[in-house]
Amino acid sequence: MQRDLQNLRKNYVKGALVDDKVPMDPFQLFDQWFIEAKEHLSIDEANAMSLCTIGLDGYPKNRIVLLKEIEKGCFLFYTNYNSEKAIAMEKNPSVSLHFFWPALERQVIIKGDVSKVSREKSANYFKSRPRGSQLGAWASDQSSKVPSREFLEQKLLSFEQKFDNKEIPLPEHWGGYSVTPISFEFWQGRPNRLHDRYLFEIKADKWISKRLAP
């Protein structure tokens, strides 16, 4: 397959990062941007983020997960503890999160260290999930090989029957992760590819920022 994509381009004109208006705290800027993304009519899931891990094969791998909370300076998401990404994070807890909001011509890249949240916190979040999502967490051995779609649907049905008229408990293999940021990079598209980039890095418990060339 061959595709000529050289003429796919656009000019970015929807915003700017003005030096004297950039907050000193990256969480403040992230919160401003996230609120704008969440309220934008053309953005369906503002909390969708790409999680990058380093696999056991040495290669980086990205996948989309959903941000569920920002708590005490950490970004929280939930997944299967036996999944490929969980195994990768157990081996190497250095990860990257990437938010891309094209309708606003903005990106945020966050590097950080990941760890599991408490069992109590995972249980509280699990209770808030729709019943179908709770059953799906039981039915899917995430990242494992399955013979067919029908196999998955039969597993789901078996757990529907098992927990019929019962509260669905938190599976042992499922829970939350917390990412503690060590850096933020904010990217705002600008005309003529002279994009605005601001990097925040934590130094001696203080955030230091600098503008980067696009």
Structural domain 19-128+172-212, CATH architecture = Roll (2.30)
Task: Classify residue 149 as exposed, middle or buried by CB count within 10 Å of its CB (0-12, 13-18, 19+).
Answer: exposed
> Looking at residue 214, what is its pLDDT?
96
Separation CA 184–CA 96 (nearest Å): 10
Separation CA 47–CA 69 (nearest Å): 9
Task: Enumerate long-range contacts of 38-41, CB under 8 Å, 24 or more apart.
Answer: 40/101, 40/103, 40/104
Catalytic residue among 63, 119, 131, 193: 193
> Looking at residue 90, what is its pLDDT?
98
- 4 pLDDT tier (thresholds 50, 70, 90): confident
Token readout for 161 is 């029957």
- Exposure string (b/e) for 114-137, b if CB count within 10 Å is 16 or more? bebbeeebbeebbeebeeeebbbb
144's CB contacts (< 8 A; 6+ apart) are 82
- As a whole number, mean pLDDT of residues 25-45 equals 98
Residue ranges with strand state E in the chain: 48-54, 60-66, 69-71, 74-80, 94-101, 106-116, 174-188, 196-203, 206-212
Looking at residue 22, the DSSP 8-state letter turns out to be S
Give the position of tokens 């109590």. 120
Helix, strand or coil for residue 99? strand
Task: Give which of 118, 40, 111 is closest to 78, Cα–Cα.
Answer: 118
> Looking at residue 3, what is its pLDDT?
87
Task: Give which of 166, 96, 99 is closest to 131, Cα–Cα.
Answer: 166
CB atoms under 10 Å from CB of 111, counted, come to 16
- As a whole number, mean pLDDT of residues 159-169 equals 97
Token readout for 15 is 């915003």
Give the position of tokens 């042992």. 172
Q: Does the annotation mark 193 as catalytic?
A: yes
- 61 pLDDT tier (thresholds 50, 70, 90): very high
81-121 confidence digits (pLDDT tens): 999 999 999 999 999 999 999 999 999 999 999 999 999 99
> Looking at residue 1, what is its pLDDT?
84
CA angle 46, 33, 78 (to 5 degrees): 40
Q: Which residue has the higher pLDDT, 5 or 76?
A: 76
> Looking at residue 76, what is its pLDDT?
98
Average pLDDT over all residues of the chain = 97
Q: Does residue 190 register a pLDDT over 90?
A: yes
